[in-house]
Amino acid sequence: MTDFAAFLAPDKGETATPIHIVDKATLGDFEKSLSERARAALQAQAMQGEAGSLAILPRDGAGPGDWLALVAVKDAAALTSWCLAGAASRLPAGTYRLTDGDAGAAMFGWAAAQHGLTRYKAKAEEKAPRLLLCRDAARIPATIAEVGAVALVRDLVDTPAADMGPADLEGAVERVAKAHGGTVSVVRGDTLEQEYPMVHAVGRAAARGREPRLIQLSWGDDAHPLVAIIGKGVCFDSGGLDIKPPSGMALMKKDMGGAAHAIALAQLVMAARLKVKLLLLVPAVENSISGGAMRPGDIVRSRKGLFVEIDNTDAEGRLILGDALALAGEAGPALILDFATLTGAARVALGPDLPPLFCNDDGLAADILAGGAAKDDPLWRMPLWDGYDAMLKSDLADITNSPAGGFAGAITAALFLRRFVPDATPWAHIDTFAWNPAAKPGRPKGGAALGLRATWAMLQQRFGA
């Protein structure tokens, strides 16, 4: 387990290597201030002030082993979450401090960049930490908590499906609950079929030991507002009988990315002792193929009582979320948040980095978007367009799970979910990708937390600690 406290510490005047921050506008003046020796070193490294670039320079009047790091960012006057992440990955192990000001938001990327999943490395390299001394010591604990939550999302998503089935997701919820005093209950088997029939229908084809379940964590004071957090927990998605091609199945270990976000957000809520009554719901399934698999053309009853015609067994995530949303709505929550790797249409519309936000409450949407801007965790609000609701019409049942034609796929999926949310309950749905297709500074290729810090900022703003 990564010790994130090894990456950030209060500055008490210890000896440390200086980091000087520049941008394109300030690099020239900084270069003029250097000695001839240091200027020659800078020119030899051909640093032009591009954001993320790094140079090692001798310190004027110091011995040959004494040096400083020069790091270029987009705007030296406004450090962002990720602007020091590349430096944290590339600098030698040791202790550092900024020469001017404090790291602020950049503390997050500095620490996050030093975490990686080593479970599957036979000889995992032990990396000594890069410790950043911070003048704003009060900010460190909250930053470490957020880094830990993001690392949890990455690790859960990166873990192969063979080691991250429904029972393993249950174990992840149990560990978080145990650490913070939450209570976990799990519904399986015949009770699941009766009470959460869509969750059961999606997961019933899975092998023994990977049976579907509804995982529920409760925490907090009943006198506080109830916040329900729901995560799609499809631990592997073959597509069911509407089987995916190999290319479509390659990343389907990440189809529980919504659950990973929900578990990590619950961890943040409990660790900060937010003034809420927390309800975490994770419908955990594997969408497999067997003689008992859900079939195209089947009609499944939902917990809410609506009957759903299955036009595509690969549109399974909305089914399990529907039952979980119905359960959450019965409890009378102050708000509901759900996270899901729900549609490819969301990626076509907005790409891998920008999750769409669907929300039935303008105030809630504004708070989440503001949280995303503050935390460098952007989202883009998409419409719950009533005109497309007719696409969900079924000739035989109350609703279909997969409208024909493919138009507005992310919107119609969100409209499907809306059918299971009480009209008066503020609700937000984030169709996250939960994946970095290419490495970026501080963010390796693989599992990614997209939308987590934005929603956490919203919850902090609304409910305090």
Give the residue numbers marked as catalytic: 244, 318
The answer to whether the beta carbons of residues 388 and 411 sit under 8 Å apart is yes
For the chain, the first-to-last Cα distance in angstroms comes to: 26
Amino acid sitting at position 73: V
Sign, Cα dihedral of 374, 465, 97, 130: negative
Task: Give the closest residue to 214 by CA, choosing from 225, 198, 226, 236.
Answer: 198
Angle 130-131-133 (CA atoms, 0-180°, nearest 5)? Answer: 145
* Residue 337 to residue 280: CA distance in whole angstroms: 10
CB-based contacts of 403, cutoff 8 Å, min separation 6 = 311, 391, 392, 412
- The three-state secondary structure class of 398 is coil
Token pair of 198 as six digits: 């869509």
* Residue 9 to residue 455: CA distance in whole angstroms: 26
* Residue 465 to residue 457: CA distance in whole angstroms: 11
